[in-house]
Amino acid sequence: MTNAEKLTELAKRRGFFFGSSEAYGGVAGFYTFGPEGAALKRNVESSWREQFTTRLGNEEIEAPTIMPEPVFEASGHLDGFDDMLVECAECGESHRADHLIEDNTDIEEAESLPIAEVEELIAEHELECPNCGAPLAGQDVVDFNLMFETSIGPGNGHPGYLRPETAQGIFVEFPRLKEYARNQLPFGITQVGRAYRNEISPRKGIVRTREFTQAELEQFIDPESDEPPLEDVRDVEVVLYPATEQEKESVEYIETTIGDAVDDGIIASDWVAYFLGVAQGWYESVGVDMDRFRFRQHLPGERAHYASDCWDAESELGGDWVEIAGFAYRGDYDLSKHEEYGDDSFTVFQQYDDPKTVERAVVDPDMSALGPEFGGQAMAVAEALQDLADRNPDAFDSDEVTVEVDGDEVTVDTDLANFSVEEQTESGEHITPHVVEPSFGVDRTVYTVIAHAYAKDEVADEARSFLQLDPTIAPTSVGVFPLLSNAEELTEQAHDIVDALRDVGLSVAYDESGNIGRRYRRQDEVGTPFCVTVDYEGLEGDGPDTVTLRERDSTAQLRLPVDVLVEELVAVRSGAKPFDALREDYEAVDSDDA
RNA sequence: GCGCCGUUGGUCCAGUGGUAGGACAGAGCCUUCCCAAGGCUCUAGCCCGGGUUCAAUUCCCGGACGGCGCACCA
């Protein structure tokens, strides 16, 4: 069994994740997070929120997962997703069928033709594979639309799509969000939610699914003036794999700091560099193994339609590098498209520090004269006059000016135009903000965290496999056991401790089944960092009752008074106090006498 | 989508034309037993549909799901 297979087996058996709807034969590309997995995922998400929403001073929204078709016409996803592929039987190369037809016939817009017709056209025109020249006639044309389509409301006249990325839910609401931000750049909006892609063939278990969770930040900036607080992450050490290195035969990484990478021009955008630095720290905090982690720059041909520069965070899983986040400089692509297609304004008014005074040629046409003269064309004439004033003010030096309206030459008395040059004050301008997008795949992150936490050792000559999850994100924080299940004094105190720990918000597992070692291993296997055992020894003697506290990774045990247990556990589980600090205050338990 | 291989208790596997066995896990009881191997008892399975056959978990065909390769991953 490979490690990946062991992880899949562990995930199924212990309730981290498993294929959905298995009672009905299952469905490819959909996974259910079981109790352990859902808890772990919630903890990873809340850690992400803590970092990328709260600490960076951003705001989170929650948009619908279904949006109407025009949104995706604007975003470019409809075109980008609706490709027709034909595969060459000889060499196996896939080609865009619509492009082949457009290139080799007089037909334009082949993309809108039905599949059957495209297949006929390929046969009719005897199209050949551009790669090897083999005939393509008879080959199936495959339509792949990576968006899930649905219809909104009764009937089918109102198509909608499940969003292929959460980002569009933010971009579409930009007109309201900018008002919320009081038109002040920069500001950032986050969203944690589901996205959907109807993958042709989902693979690699939970790594590539059809429904997945993204955690995204859309940072809106003024490209002219907004700088990230780069000094916060200057010294963060990172492993970079730039595009230039990827073209070489041997894999060589650049180990550097964020600050140096910017100074050396390896990362072009300060903003992207800043977020790489923040992300590095975050990944480390949730337990991603930094020896199996890198930032890889996209190759020029690899970038999405919206991105000018893009870096991925990648983690090593079973020998493969898997993308777990993307950091894209999206420029003004999205907001410009929505400005063009949507009804509202996707720009922000930026005031100048000092208002500018500019001279502008203006006309104030005498409509009471133009109206009778030109009738319905009068407005168009007036607009043409202003247009002329902008382009060529000198034209108004003569007695008459001539403009073109609907293809007709129209001559107007210059007096009627009321031409003048005015000083106007410009206090600012409308700009389309640029967008920097760190976009995290939550499911892949969760899987990475599990895979990187997976460890093996030996305890008392017995092999042990366990998850070294960080205490802050482990699904269960504490296991509580009575040493024996048939002793009321032990089970009662154990139950009291469970209640006390749950009262302060800790996630607690109670277990009295089997022998004590078995119970420790159960919790080890799901990554529970601490276990409390109530034994007879702790009830004996004159002093306060004591219990033992065991740490998962070292299996070391300390004896703690019950009345400090809650306080100390809260401290070690939050990371405020390392477990080793407890060793100074409490007696170690010698477990060799077992 | 294509090709190859696979699908048997919760998990991982063995096996058979006459409906099946193990390991681990799980439940209960016993146990002053602190690191999965104690004793007793118990639970639980042949992916779906069609075909061949007296009889199919087993053979054939199709499907679903999974693994690998190709393609795809904007």
Quickly give A504 CA vs B3 C1' distance in Å: 57
The pLDDT tens digits for A563-577 are 999 999 999 999 999
ipTM comes to: 0.85
- Return the HEC string of A250-279: CCCCEEEEHHHHHHCCCCCCHHHHHHHHHH
pLDDT-based confidence at residue A300 (cuts at 50, 70, 90): confident
Cis peptide before A300 (omega within 30 of 0): no
Quickly give A165 CA vs B63 C1' distance in Å: 32
Among protein residues, the one whose C-alpha sits closest to the C1' atom of B70 is A92
Tokens representing A533 are 């055992």
Decide if A190 contacts A356 (C-beta within 8 A): no
Q: What is the rounded distance in angstroms from the CA atom of residue A466 to the CA atom of residue A290? A: 19
β strands within A30-121, DSSP E: 31-33, 59-60, 66-68, 82-87, 94-96
Q: pLDDT at position A505, please? A: 94
Q: pLDDT at position A269, please? A: 92
Q: What is the mean pLDDT of chain A?
A: 87
Quickly give A446 CA vs B23 C1' distance in Å: 31
Q: What is the rounded distance in angstroms from the CA atom of residue A122 to the CA atom of residue A344? A: 43
Nucleotide nearest to A27 (CA to C1'): B65
Among protein residues, the one whose C-alpha sits closest to the C1' atom of B28 is A513
Nucleotide nearest to A199 (CA to C1'): B73
Q: pLDDT at position A88, please? A: 63
Structural domains present in chain A:
3-65+163-334 (3.30.930.10), 71-148 (3.30.40.230), 358-419 (3.30.720), 476-588 (3.40.50.800)
Q: What is the rounded distance in angstroms from the CA atom of residue A561 to the CA atom of residue A494? A: 13
Q: What is the DSSP string of A167-201?
A: HHHHHHTHHHHHHHTTTPSSEEEEEEEEEE---SS
Among protein residues, the one whose C-alpha sits closest to the C1' atom of B29 is A486
Quickly give A19 CA vs B49 C1' distance in Å: 22
Burial class (CB in 10 A: 0-12, 13-18, 19+), A414: middle
The pLDDT tens digits for A361-395 are 777 777 777 777 777 777 778 778 878 888 888 88
> Quick check: A167 pLDDT over 80?
yes
> Quick check: A125 pLDDT over 90?
no
Amino acid identity of residue A117, one-letter, is: E
Quickly give A535 CA vs B33 C1' distance in Å: 11
Amino acid identity of residue A278, one-letter, is: V
pLDDT-based confidence at residue A162 (cuts at 50, 70, 90): very high
Q: Nucleotides on strand B with an atom closer than 7 A to protein CB?
A: 1-2, 10-13, 25-38, 47-48, 63-74
Quickly give A198 CA vs B65 C1' distance in Å: 17
What does the radius of gyration of chain A's CA atoms come to, in whole angstroms? 32
Average pLDDT (A424-449) is 91
Q: pLDDT at position A593, please? A: 40
List the one residue out of A80, A58, A130 whose CA is nearest residue A100.
A130
| Spatial CB neighbours of A135, under 8 Å, sequence gap ≥ 6 | A126, A127, A128, A129
Check residues A529 and A301 and name the one with the higher pLDDT: A529
Q: pLDDT at position A543, please? A: 81
Quickly give A26 CA vs B56 C1' distance in Å: 24
List the one residue out of A253, A245, A265 whose CA is nearest residue A292.
A253
Among protein residues, the one whose C-alpha sits closest to the C1' atom of B36 is A518
Nucleotide nearest to A20 (CA to C1'): B65
